[in-house]
Amino acid sequence: MPRRTEPFAPGSLTLRRKQAGLTQAQLGTAVGVSARQIASYEQGGHAPSPRRLRLMARVLKTSAHELAGVPAGEESLADLRRFAGLDRVDVVALLDAVLPAELGRVTAWKLQAMENGQAVTAWLSREALQEVIPALAKIYRVPVRTVRRSWFRSFPEQGHLLRAQGRPGPEQKRQRAGSGVWEGLTERQRAYLVACFREDQQAERHAGERRAAGRNPGPAAQWRRLPFTVRADPAFTGYTRIQERLRAKGWHDAGAGATLHALVRRKLLRVGEDEVEVFPLGFVPRVVVEMTRAGRACARAGLKERSAGRARGDLLSEWLWTALVKVAEAGGAGLAEDALWGRAKFHLGTGYRPGGTLSRGFIDCLSDEGDGRQERVYRWVVTAAGRDHIRHHAADYRELYPQIAADAAVERVSEN
């Protein structure tokens, strides 16, 4: 639950007043209160009003954050209002004047409920929050992201509503750039790039399967390095999977060196070399390739394929969808806490901020009541937001990840 009291640091006020060389009477005169009232603030008897808090910070050449004892970046929604020097009645009038009529009239009760961590029914949709949060940011004179983060701290279960939608991310921008690069490739270069891309995606799927099964696939820099050719007689070594893909498309030529280097120059591939043991030849050189992000974007643009789980911001990647299905299949009984391996819980679980972004809030780890004699047992369950997501996008995921059996999960969700 978010903090409900209005914080104030009396010691900070005393220290700043003395550093400014002011008596209690002088500070009181500057902010319009008596010396006795300043003494009450410094003794912790009362907290100043938002307007006086802001005024004292200005007089003492400090910040309202310091006088309140709240570090920047940890403000509650009520703190943002107070630090702006506004009472609730002020914000109600300003907010009601700018919000669309369909969101209902803004009242002091709604604002107080929101600041106390109680969800306001009229503000429970993504569309409503896209109106309310920027409006508050403008009123409080802070960046929109500041209000969004404070809102998330008060309502972690609404993380899926707060995530930015509709703006092209880095992957989409790379794909746009990749489209132009694809046009400049020769037919052979395209064939080699696609063969490497298909093998890269196969490696990614295998890594996701291991991760979902609770096994560490190792670093991506390791499993994304793909054997391209072994510098020895194919009678002993056979062909790599990439070569087999090329041969199936009719590319048997020996011009791989020039083709690979052309793709490297365009920063679509990285090429290296290691050694592999081949019986009875011993250790022989092997060429390995690694797709760059630009290379994957270029291949997708040429093939007109979407990035798995990334082309639409409201869909999950394959490994996160696998994890959500796993929790949903457990039903109301829940999935044991340690059965969800890896970082999926941070991206799906309620209240997390992986990499500084908002988690989706599709699952939550809850405990039983216990009987006082045994330790509580914690289990992962699907939240209401997670159930809605599964219901609304089950068909999308069947098309996107047909290899993931999710019928049982969808049926479980439909029962609730």
Q: What is the pLDDT of residues 73-87, one digit of tens each?
A: 788 899 999 999 999
Domain ranges, residue 407: 318-415
127, 162, 197: which is the final residue of a domain? 162
Task: Verify that 197 and 277 share a domain, yes or no.
Answer: yes
137, 162, 187: which is the final residue of a domain? 162
How far, in Å, CA of 348 to CA of 359, rounded?
6
How far, in Å, CA of 384 to CA of 338, rounded?
22
Q: What is the pLDDT of residues 125-182, one digit of tens each?
A: 888 898 999 999 999 999 988 898 888 888 877 877 776 554 545 555 555 555 678 9
Considering the domain boundaries, does residue 5 fall inside one? no
Considering the domain boundaries, does residue 389 fall inside one? yes
How far, in Å, CA of 224 to CA of 219, rounded?
9
Considering the domain boundaries, does residue 312 fall inside one? no
Task: Verify that 140 and 180 share a domain, yes or no.
Answer: no
Q: How high is the pLDDT of residue 356?
A: 61
Considering the domain boundaries, does residue 106 fall inside one? yes
135, 162, 189: which is the final residue of a domain? 162
Task: Verify that 363 and 297 share a domain, yes or no.
Answer: no
User: Cis omega (within 30 of 0) on the bond before 2?
Assistant: no
Average the pLDDT over 248-267 and give the result. Answer: 83
Considering the domain boundaries, does residue 24 fall inside one? yes
Q: How far is CA 315 from CA 60, 91, 215, 294, 394, in A?
A: 50, 36, 24, 22, 10
Q: How high is the pLDDT of residue 309?
A: 42
pTM of this structure: 0.50
Task: Verify that 178 and 275 share a domain, yes or no.
Answer: yes
How far, in Å, CA of 377 to CA of 367, rounded?
5
What's the chain's average pLDDT? 84
Number of domains in the chain: 3
Task: Verify that 64 and 146 share a domain, yes or no.
Answer: yes
Task: Verify that 144 and 216 share a domain, yes or no.
Answer: no
